[in-house]
């Protein structure tokens, strides 16, 4: 059966994925640690560790302050700076965790954490208190709340008023070291701003991190046995070195293993979207990575000519699709309606992506602006 170019192209179905990066900031969710104290009011079961937020500190000597999170206050974060007020609140500033939660909070695969509070001395953060969201996220839902048994916060939440000033957590991102330095100096000077994490008051060193040019070439569509990857790697390495020229930097080439091209069967051939490989056809991807100074990255990207890298001729897939169906015992007269070839990764032009060197970020607390 003859298949026209128009009908052949109808076999080819590609897709473009889209991703959205959503940043939700409601305070720093950071792991903390604590010591095991003695008996607390309304003592929790022995299977839980008790954390007293002010234990081991002489609040009477002054210089201490504490940000209490919404879990504690029930009305948003509050900064308590008065030593006498802190001392009066201290008996209720305790909560309990499952015995294993402290170790898990600091692990690589830590569960989502809820902010409890941050203790400061002389304006600098000493310790961040958190608890697993799965454990305490629902403490104060309902009349007989679990939080009344596993913490002293219920007494604070029931007060008509709490001491302290409303604060909010903000995170600043800076793509230049000079901008980071200015923001750091402004927070360090005070004026209603405090670093949010221990150690953040120490100025980070500027790192001469290179930018990355990632050049993704069209895939190779291979009929029969794939040629050795080493030959293509050597050719692309020489090409990338020529692009760099006298610029300081380095080049790398990555070539994937050959992957099969599959035909997806559609009704009436298959209701489940079964796939069969196209006989003798494979593809492999090729990526060139160039690391060089940020100042050189944009100018080099503008100079690189990728017009010589053509996309593969997809019409060679027509015969392969007919052959694959015949080998499976299907009538090819149903094409192109009964099968498709997903080419989201194959049918892509050459492109250049620029990944700048990492920037800097600072998390801080600040007094909430008046409404």
Q: Rounded to an integer, what distance in angstroms lies between the CA atom of residue 184 and that of residue 77?
A: 22
Predicted confidence at residue 21, as pLDDT, reads 22
pLDDT digits (tens, 9 = 90+) for 187-246: 999 888 999 999 999 998 876 667 899 999 999 988 888 888 888 999 999 999 999 999
Q: Give the side-chain half-sphere CA count within 13 A for 369.
A: 2
Gap between the Cα atoms of 157 and 24, Å rounded: 25
Cβ–Cβ under 8 Å, residues 83 and 62: yes
By C-alpha distance, which of 89, 116, 94, 92 is closest to 105?
A: 116
Q: How far apart are CA 55 and CA 48, in angstroms?
A: 17
Residue 12 phi, psi (nearest 5): -90, 120
pTM summary value: 0.52
Strand order in the sheet with 78-80: 124-132, 113-121, 64-68, 78-80, 165-174, 360-367, 193-195
Residues in the chain, pLDDT under 50:
1-41, 43-45, 103-109, 370-371
Q: What pLDDT is recorded for position 62? A: 80
Domain ranges in the chain?
Answer: 5-12+209-355, 48-205+360-367
Say what the pLDDT of residue 102 is: 52
pLDDT digits (tens, 9 = 90+) for 283-332: 899 999 999 888 888 899 999 999 999 988 888 888 888 888 888 888 88
> Using a CB cutoff of 8 Å and minimum separation of 24, what contacts does 20-28 make?
25/169, 25/170, 25/171, 26/169, 27/69, 27/70, 27/77, 27/115, 27/169, 28/115, 28/118, 28/128, 28/169, 28/196, 28/197, 28/363
pLDDT for 181 equals 93
Return the closest-CA partner of residue 275 out of 345, 339, 347.
339
Cβ neighbours of residue 90 under 8 Å, at least 6 residues apart?
A: 52, 53, 54, 59
Residue pair 236/288 in contact (Cβ under 8 Å)? The answer is: yes
* pLDDT for 349: 92
Kindly list the distances between the CA atom of residue 23 and the CA atoms of 6, 109, 171, in Å, as whole numbers in the listed order. Answer: 44, 20, 11
Would you mind telling me the total number of residues written for the chain in this entry?
371
The secondary structure of residue 84, as a DSSP letter, is H
Phi, psi of 252 (to 5 degrees): -140, 150
Burial of 166 from C-beta contacts in 10 A (0-12 / 13-18 / 19+): middle
């Amino acid at each position: 059966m003859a298949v026209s170019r128009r009908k052949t192209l109808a076999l080819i179905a590609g897709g473009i994925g889209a991703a959205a990066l959503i940043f939700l900031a409601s305070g720093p969710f950071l792991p903390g640690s604590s010591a095991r104290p003695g008996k607390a009011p309304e003592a929790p079961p022995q299977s839980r560790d008790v954390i007293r937020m002010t234990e081991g500190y002489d609040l009477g000597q002054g210089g201490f302050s504490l940000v209490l999170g919404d879990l504690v206050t029930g009305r948003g974060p509050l900064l308590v700076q008065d030593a006498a007020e802190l001392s009066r609140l201290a008996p209720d500033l305790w909560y309990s965790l499952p015995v294993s939660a402290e170790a898990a909070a600091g692990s690589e695969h830590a569960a989502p954490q809820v902010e409890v509070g941050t203790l400061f001395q002389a304006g600098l953060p000493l310790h961040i208190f958190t608890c697993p969201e799965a454990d305490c996220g629902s403490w104060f839902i309902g009349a007989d709340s679990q939080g009344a048994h596993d913490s002293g916060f219920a007494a604070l939440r029931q007060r008509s008023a709490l001491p302290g000033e409303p604060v909010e957590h903000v995170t600043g991102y800076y793509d230049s070291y000079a901008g980071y330095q200015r923001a750091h100096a402004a927070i360090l000077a005070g004026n209603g701003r405090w670093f949010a994490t221990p150690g953040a008051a120490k100025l980070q060193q500027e790192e001469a991190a290179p930018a990355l040019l990632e050049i993704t070439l069209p895939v190779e569509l291979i009929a029969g046995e794939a040629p050795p990857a080493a030959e293509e790697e050597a050719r692309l390495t020489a090409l990338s070195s020529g692009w760099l020229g006298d610029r300081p930097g380095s080049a790398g080439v990555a070539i994937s293993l050959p992957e099969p091209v599959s035909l997806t069967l559609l009704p009436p051939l298959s209701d489940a979207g079964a796939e069969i490989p196209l006989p003798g056809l494979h593809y492999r991807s090729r990526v060139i990575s160039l690391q060089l100074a940020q100042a050189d990255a944009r100018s080099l990207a503008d100079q690189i000519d990728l017009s010589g890298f053509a996309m593969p001729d997809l019409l060679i897939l027509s015969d392969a699709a007919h052959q694959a169906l015949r080998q499976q015992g299907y009538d090819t007269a149903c094409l192109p309606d009964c099968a498709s070839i997903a080419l989201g990764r194959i049918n892509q032009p050459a492109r250049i992506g620029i990944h700048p060197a990492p920037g800097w970020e600072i998390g801080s607390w600040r007094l909430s602006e008046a409404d």
